Amino acid sequence: MRVLMVCLGNICRSPIAEGILHHQIELKKLEMTVDSAGTSDYHIDESPDSRAIAVAKKNGIDISNLRGRQFTVDDFDQFDVIFVMDYSNYENVIKLARSEEDKNKVQLILNQIYPNENQSVPDPYFGGDEGFDSVFNMLDASITNFINKQL
């Protein structure tokens, strides 16, 4: 299975989610790949936000080597599941979908812990460190549920 994590800039939420899933894949020795992207072009080739790197590191995950990239139509061909962080990301990705098959790949990640509630992972960019801790915990719970469904 190939999974893509998507947020706005690909420097906060989606790299944290990519790091968490990659870590769980390694721990559980799963046949799965993961990547992340942003719907905007604001941070192409940039490292994750320093606070995202710090919260991941605090939880035993290194995301410092990740680099921002923008979501493209080709991602629908490369990935089986596309997790978006909020409804704005969802709308932006769906606009690029070429078919119902493409649209069916796109899911709000918090639906893994709050089924059919379509809740958003808040963007911690303009807040403090506590926002990054909260986002990490939400994503960790969602990804754990997703992994458990795959086992």
Q: Are 46 and 77 in contact (CB under 8 A)?
A: no
- How many C-beta atoms surround the C-beta of residue 127 within 10 A? 13
Residue 115 in tokens: 């089924």
DSSP label of 108: E
Question: What's the CA gap between 37 and 57, in Å, rounded?
Answer: 20
Burial profile 42-57: b = 16 or more Cβ within 10 angstroms, e = fewer:
ebeeebbbebbbbbbe
Residues involved in catalysis: 7, 13, 123
